[in-house]
């Protein structure tokens, strides 16, 4: 069965897409730690990030870096934190989170956003790529 993220890639489930290329896809996390919390995923469906082919893994990091730079241009923050967890969705993904302090990386406090806010933010990050 396809992962929820594979369904997002195929457009079967909606997402607040920022950008995609042949191999990778970036979209806003639906339950963000902070405004701008973004997920970068490989299109190939592999659960654990370190099980990715080295080439796909390196490409994911390159892709994530480009997206992180655009997030930093868009969201006032101390920096963009990067985290890999994967306990909820078994499809490798990189969390990019604009942070002010360590607490923003703890996945405890969450930010509520409207559909319009998500759409505007995805567009703003896209425009800074």
Residue 86 binds ligand AMP (CB under 6 A)? yes
Asked if residue 44 binds ligand AMP (CB under 6 A), the reply is no
**37, 91, 93, 95: the active-site residue:** 93
Burial 62-71 (b: 16+ CB within 10 A, else e): ebbeebbebb
Q: Does 61 bind ligand AMP (CB under 6 A)?
A: no
Q: Out of 18, 19, 29, 96, which residue is the one contacting ligand AMP (CB under 6 A)? A: 29
Give the total of residues touching ligand AMP (CB under 6 A).
12
Residue carrying structure tokens 């659960």: 47
For 20-88, give the secondary structure using H, E and C.
Answer: ECCCEEEEECCCCCCCCCEEEEECCCCCCHHHCCHHHHHHHHHHHHHHHHHHHHHCCCCEEEEECCCCC
- Which range in 41-49, 87-95, 98-106, 118-126 contacts ligand AMP by CB under 6 A? 87-95
Collapsed DSSP state (helix, strand, coil) of residue 11:
coil
State the greatest distance between any 2 C-alpha atoms of the chain, in Å, as a whole number: 39
- Residue 92 DSSP SS3: coil
Shortest Å, Cβ 27 to ligand AMP: 6
Among 88, 102, 108, 115, the residue binding ligand AMP under the rule CB under 6 A is: 88
Is 93 annotated as catalytic? yes
Task: Using the rule CB under 6 A, give the single segment among 49-57, 58-66, 86-94, 97-105 that binds ligand AMP.
Answer: 86-94
The binding site for ligand AMP (CB under 6 A) comprises 4, 13, 15, 29-31, 39, 85-89
Catalytic positions are: 93
């Amino acid at each position: 069965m396809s992962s929820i993220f594979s369904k997002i890639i195929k457009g079967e489930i909606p997402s607040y897409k920022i950008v995609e290329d042949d191999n990778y896809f970036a979209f806003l996390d639906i339950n963000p730690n902070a405004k701008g919390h973004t997920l970068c995923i490989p299109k190939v469906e592999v659960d654990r990030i370190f099980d990715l082919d080295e080439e796909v893994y390196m490409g994911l990091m390159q892709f994530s870096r480009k997206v992180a730079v655009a997030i930093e241009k868009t969201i006032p923050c101390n920096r963009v934190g990067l985290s890999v967890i994967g306990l909820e969705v078994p499809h490798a993904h990189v969390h990019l989170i604009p942070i002010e302090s360590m607490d923003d990386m703890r996945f405890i406090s969450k930010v509520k956003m409207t559909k319009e806010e998500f759409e505007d933010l995805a567009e703003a990050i896209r425009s800074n790529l």
